[in-house]
Amino acid sequence: MLDTQKGDVATESQSELYSEEEHLQHLHDGGSEHPKSSFSMDESSVTDFNMEIDEPEDLISYAGLSKRVKFENEIVIIENKNIFKNHKLKFQLASAMISLFFIGLVDQVIGSLIEYFLKEYNINRVQISYLFVAQFCGYIPSSIFNNYLMSKFGLHFLYTSACIIVCFTSTMFLLKVPFVFLPFCSVFFGWCNGTFDCCLNYFVGSLDYSNELLGLMHSMYGLGCLITPVLSIHLVKSGMPWNYYYFILIATGITNFLFAYFFFQNETAAKYRYTISEDRNNENDQDDFQSSNIEDKTLPTMFETLKNKYVIFYSVALFTYVGSELSVGVWLNNYMYRIQGQTEENASIITSIFWLFMTLGRGVMGFVTGWYYKDREIKGIVFYCFMVAGSCLSFWIFESSITLQIISICLAAWFVGPLFGTTIIISLKTLPKRYALHSISLIAGFGGTGAAIIPAILGYISEHFGGGNGDSDGAGLKYFPEVVCITFTAAAFMWFSFYLAHKRTFDAQIRLQ
């Protein structure tokens, strides 16, 4: 009888639908089930969450895979999270992949063109490292304020504004403005990169098949880093001014803006607040990692989130991994060129091979993690980290053989690939429920600051060690294998210790308390 009534309601006019409110409310109070596609009535007698009825067909979007909910006097569109059913998600994933591709271009372009930066501005490697430190200064506020900004302005506004800013900042590099302005430009790069990381890891991490989709998304970062060394050097050697490479970044940023603007319009501030509220208040949520104890369902403050020991651990682990990964990407080219005596072209090819294996590892291992380590991601990441540490040790030991070093660093890249996405999934599944979504932007953002700090440290080492006179002109890069090995090994032991300390919790598949 209920199905017949709902079928009638769905075919009646909007005014008739409203007249059925009292009767449907009676059915709702009696415990009748509602279909997934629903509409919440804006009446004083009905709250935002306790009254949902079917929409007329002309109000249902995306082939019936969405519902409209009244929340805080705004209409929130909740869409299906299965990418195989909701085709709009394919375009949104494409936009996310373009964003990560752009970040890869930004992170790798300075390392690939470092010799041209040094000559153009008459600076050393310590000064070029200021650009990485400046990115850190942009990442930090981005990490801290992104939750607030998404709840205030929405993911759509935050995402599209970041796309506009990166186009403007890339233009400054294209115009070769005086070097004193470049660190300020890098601050904006850091802000936007942090925004991309925070927004997109939150968005894609909450979808179905998140292991696989995050792997694909982050593989595009590797692709951006992959093409930059070979393509930039090839174009420069062909006679193109080095700064013209930023035209590629500008074109990518414009494309990203168009995708973000048209396909994320439903990602409003109200929707973000609704998602957080639903996740906090829905006591019937029975995922595999739900705690058997009653948790505090209130939304944590920023200070509470920052001081939570599990949020701190995931942030530090990601900081170490991201910083080590980009240190290899930025300085491998210069290491092969300055220390191992390779030609500039060969050094760029070796760097691109590293990023090729990183890209493949992210794409392939994301599916391996989703299939073999599903709900046991913590075991997978421990294994991956030790494989990376062992490969980096091999890279250090076999310094006398370029071939063995290439094999070692490629093996490391393969297992480095899935670490970022897997960390995000682990944090979503294991953090206390009230922190799960709220902390993702902080973890991704603070983790991303490693991309600014550790490469800068290597830049300092390259100029102040190894030469004996305080100005080594890159001779300190001979310590590059040791530094990379130490940082990746530290990350491996951090994860292993964390797993042992909470083994019972992870094995029982419940949330950390």
Note whether residue 475 is domain-resident.
yes
Domain identity same for 13 and 121: no
Q: Which tokens in the block code for residue 498? A: 């964390």
Which of 20, 42, 60 represents a domain boundary (last residue)? 60
- CB proximity list for 486: less than 8 A, separation 6 or greater: none
Number of domains in the chain: 2
Let me know: does 462 contact 337? Beta carbons within 8 Å: no
Note whether residue 287 is domain-resident.
no
Burial of 108 (0-12, 13-18, 19+ CB in 10 A): buried
Instruction: Look at residue 81 and give its three-state secondary structure.
Output: coil
Domain identity same for 438 and 351: yes
Note whether residue 261 is domain-resident.
yes
Domain identity same for 426 and 488: yes
Question: Edge-to-edge, what's the strand order for the sheet holding 39-40?
Answer: 52-53, 39-40, 66-71, 74-79
Domain identity same for 95 and 46: no
Domain identity same for 12 and 137: no
Distance of CA 238 to the CA centre of its chain: 35
Domain identity same for 331 and 417: yes
Q: What is the mean pLDDT of each run of 10 residues along the chain (513 residues)?
A: 43 42 42 40 39 38 65 86 90 94 88 88 86 84 84 93 95 94 92 88 86 85 86 89 93 96 92 79 47 52 80 90 85 89 88 88 85 88 94 94 94 90 86 72 75 81 69 77 92 93 86 79
Number of H helices, E strands in the chain: 22, 4
Give, in order, the Cα–Cα distances in Å from 474 to each of 117, 130, 478: 14, 16, 8
pLDDT at position 321: 87
Which among 130, 133, 100 is positioned nearest to 117, based on CA atoms? 130
Q: Could you tell me if residue 12 is left (phi over 0), alpha (psi between -120 and 50 degrees) or otherwise beta? A: beta
Q: What's the CATH number where 130 sits? A: 1.20.1250.20
Q: Measured between alpha carbons, how far is 211 from 362 in angstroms, rounded to an integer?
A: 10
Phi/psi of residue 188, nearest 5 degrees: -70, -35
pLDDT at position 405: 94
Domain identity same for 34 and 122: no
CB atoms within 10 A of CB 152: 13
Q: Measured between alpha carbons, how far is 48 from 63 in angstroms, rounded to an integer?
A: 24
Overall pTM > 0.75: no
Let me know: does 179 contact 130? Beta carbons within 8 Å: no
Phi/psi of residue 74, nearest 5 degrees: -130, 155
Write out the residue range of the structural domain in which residue 443 sits. 88-280+294-507
Domain identity same for 362 and 458: yes
Note whether residue 74 is domain-resident.
no
Note whether residue 78 is domain-resident.
no
Note whether residue 247 is domain-resident.
yes
pLDDT at position 5: 43
- CB proximity list for 346: less than 8 A, separation 6 or greater: 336
Q: Measured between alpha carbons, how far is 363 from 212 in angstroms, rounded to an integer?
A: 7
Domain identity same for 45 and 173: no
CA angle 76–198–452, rounded 5-degree value:
165
Note whether residue 66 is domain-resident.
no
Q: What amino acid is encoded at 423 in this protein?
A: T
pLDDT of 376-397, one tens digit each?
889 999 999 999 999 999 999 9
Instruction: Look at residue 288 and give its three-state secondary structure.
Output: coil
CB atoms within 10 A of CB 183: 16
CA angle 496–421–330, rounded 5-degree value:
90
Domain identity same for 48 and 160: no
Note whether residue 118 is domain-resident.
yes
Which of 60, 77, 110 represents a domain boundary (last residue)? 60
Domain identity same for 132 and 275: yes
CB atoms within 10 A of CB 300: 19
Let me know: does 218 contact 101? Beta carbons within 8 Å: no
pLDDT at position 471: 53
Domain identity same for 45 and 140: no
Phi/psi of residue 78, nearest 5 degrees: -100, 125
